[in-house]
Amino acid sequence: MDFAGFVRQQSALWYTMLGEDAGLPVPLQAIGLDPVETLLLVAPHPDDECLMAGFALRAMEEWGTRVIVLPYSYGSKVDRRQERQGELKRAVASLGFEWIDPLQPPSLEVLSPGDLARVLAECVPDAVLFPHSGDGHPTHIRCSRQVSEVVTLWANASRKRVHLFESAYWQDLTEPNLMVDLTPDHVIRMGSALLEHRGEIERNPYHLSLPAHLIDSRRKGVERVSGMGSRAGTGLFAQLLRHSVMN
């Protein structure tokens, strides 16, 4: 069974047991979000652009958002960095996103604050998606702090209104305030792109746990975002985020 069949089987089982049909996700504007023209997705590692992609896919579909992926690092294994750059290119293409890469050559350890500032000035995003500051992995935490600091300086200097979307993978958000529902097709696109990271998948087939991660995110989000005791509804997958605006 391929990944798409794996996701569809889980979805079919869910709706068979509920005895209800799958509904379409609530439009992003209906949950209080302003349209985003350009979204900069800062990926701590190649593969995070796939794991974080749910909201970006929805924004691209509903608003025509331009999604630009910026790699923060190519991982700790120097001998894998060139290969991981190629995997990232293929994954970004699979998602339908763009990418920009100041980490040339890919042997450089991490993105510098100066490079990030130059990317912001070049792309002028009105939204930035990045991991939250407690995301449980040293590179994710370092990435989060650097992005937050540099974006704050850039937004203040340019007097730019910027939406910040903080994501979670290694460690739950303590105060999520946004739940973005995802369809099985969104999950399939995320997982199919993740499979382009062949070296990482060979080491750990974590693409198989992606649906479970997004299912659990929705379970938590119903209570933590919508309010304790809220009705779950018929959705199965979601991405949890913390949304804030820098004016």
The rounded distance, in Å, linking the Cα atoms of 74 and 237 is 28
Query: What is the pLDDT at residue 44?
Result: 96
Query: What is the pLDDT at residue 214?
Result: 97
Matching residue, tokens 């190649």: 46
Question: What is the token pair recorded at 160?
Answer: 């730019």
Query: Which residues of the chain fall short of a pLDDT of 70?
Result: 1, 19-23, 104-108, 229, 232
Question: What is the token pair recorded at 3?
Answer: 């990944």
The predicted-structure confidence for 192-223, as pLDDT tens digits, reads as follows 999 999 999 999 999 999 999 999 999 999 99
Query: What is the pLDDT at residue 131?
Result: 98
140: left (phi over 0), alpha (psi -120 to 50) or beta: alpha
The rounded distance, in Å, linking the Cα atoms of 69 and 65 is 13
Domains of the chain: 35-246 (3.40.50.10320)
What distances in angstroms separate CA 146 from CA 83, 118, 244, one per listed residue?
25, 14, 17
Rounded to the nearest angstrom, the gap between the alpha carbon of residue 11 and the centroid of all alpha carbons in its chain is 21
Nearest to 94 by CA among 209, 201, 212, 188: 188
Query: What is the pLDDT at residue 13?
Result: 86
**Sign of the dihedral defined by the CA atoms of residues 79, 169, 186, 180, in that order:** negative
The rounded distance, in Å, linking the Cα atoms of 24 and 57 is 15
Query: What is the pLDDT at residue 106?
Result: 62
The rounded distance, in Å, linking the Cα atoms of 101 and 94 is 17
The rounded distance, in Å, linking the Cα atoms of 247 and 229 is 33
Query: What is the pLDDT at residue 129?
Result: 98
